[in-house]
Amino acid sequence: MPAPMMPFIMERLDQAFHVHKLWLAADADALLAEVAPSVRAIAAAGGAAITADLMRRLPRLECVSGFGVGYDSIDAQWAGTHGITVTNTPDVLTEEVADTALALTLMAVRRLPQAERYLRAGHWLEKPFPLTPSLRGRTAGVLGLGRIGKAIARRFAACGVPVHYHGRHRQADVDLPYHATPVDLARAVDVLVVVTPGGSETRNLVDAAVLKALGPDGILVNIARGTVVDEQALVAALRDGTILGAGLDVFAQEPAVPQALLDLDNVVLLPHVGSATTHTRQAMGQLVVDNLVAWAEGRPVPTPVPETPIKAG
């Protein structure tokens, strides 16, 4: 275990395995060199870098159990080609993250955090808070229509907001307008919700051209990975009115948030709390444990990632 995880995960793994907690060692590299010949699995906290170089050092490695639906910090491609199982924790966080996406949208469109700060500062005693834009009459675009993207689309539909989408492929069983590129999608909507995986393939996918296409009434919401959005282009777009506002739960260099974003009043900022409820994190943690136990018992793991050449249980 390269980095600490939730206490109950560590307790349950300690019961089932001999766990080497690298972060507790005075010299983590020395400990890793000592235990490498016996290590057969990795329990990876969200965002922990499980690189090809690390996995090469573990000649008996068979399984990497990751915490989180995103696994761009794990070199799953290398693992898959070397027969190593990689798992993540999908499904159990879908509804929670979709709730956060809708909340961020409403917060950004209706300027609700700004309204609360206005009240707390005593300004309501002087005059009412200014009128805000509305969700009414808007069209939403979902950039990445996977499990979470579809859950977000259902929420927008319940609010009476039409939904369009873009993904790598048109989905035959989805009855929503499809756009071939992110720019085409942004041009057709005025709320753009980013739900794509992170990694090199999607780095800065939302760039200046996409933001320009979204337009001066546009709201950008990102609950995917900070790297998917070009942060410098976003700051410029928020400053000069290229878009109206943004709601962000993720950032390129977490937990550091650019001062330029902190200084802006037309962006809502959350500290990566999309799935951060006790209920959902407990379910995610249990899935980390379930994957490792299934692997150890020789059963198919419940949630292998696509790069893993092993069927799900």
Which residues are part of the catalytic machinery?
Answer: 225, 254, 272
**Nearest to 217, CA basis, from 194, 196, 237:** 237
User: What is the spatial order of strands in the sheet that 245-248 belongs to?
Assistant: 163-166, 140-143, 191-194, 219-222, 245-248, 267-269
Q: Which of 64, 35, 46, 36 is nearest to 6 (CA)?
A: 46
The answer to whether the beta carbons of residues 267 and 258 sit under 8 Å apart is no
Tokens of 13: 């793994």
Distance of CA 90 to the CA centre of its chain: 11
CA pair distance 63, 13, nearest whole angstrom = 14
Calpha distance 281→69 (Å, rounded): 11
